[in-house]
Amino acid sequence: MTRFNRFIGIDYSGAATPVTPLPGLRIFEARGVESPLEVRPEKNLARHWTRQGVAEWILDAVLTGEPLLIGIDHGFSFPATYFDRY
C-alpha cells in the first residue's frame, strides 16, 4: 500500500504576470497506478494555465484531504531584471 493516492506533476513557468496564460505551464495527474493525464484549466475554458490558476487548483487539491504528492519543475532564481541591474 502506498502513502499517496494522487500524484501531481507541474511544469512551472515564472514568466510574465500571475494572471498571464502561459503555454509552458502545465499540470499532469495520476491516481494510483494509472498513467498520468494532463489537467486542463477549466475557468472560462482557458487554453493555458495561469500561475494564479495553478495555485488555486493546488489549494483545491490539498483541501480534499486526500493523500497526494506534488512535484514542481521550477527554475528558482532572481527575476531577470535583477541580473540586468547587477
How high is the pLDDT of residue 43?
67
Burial of 42 (0-12, 13-18, 19+ CB in 10 A): exposed
In-domain check, residue 63: yes
What's the farthest any 2 CA atoms get from each other in the chain? 52
Q: Is residue 79 part of a domain?
A: yes
**Residue 78's pLDDT band (boundaries 50, 70, 90)?**
confident
What does the pLDDT look like over 13-55, one tens digit per residue? 777 888 999 999 999 999 989 999 999 998 666 789 999 999 9
Domain contains 72 = yes
Query: What does DSSP assign to residue 56?
Result: H
Domain count for the chain, please give it. 1
pTM check: above 0.85: no
Location of C-alpha cell 494564479? 52
**What is the domain extent for residue 51?**
6-85
DSSP at 7: E
The verdict on residue 58 lying in a domain is yes
Examine residue 1 and state whether it is found in any structural domain, yes or no: no
Q: Cell digits for 55?
A: 495555485
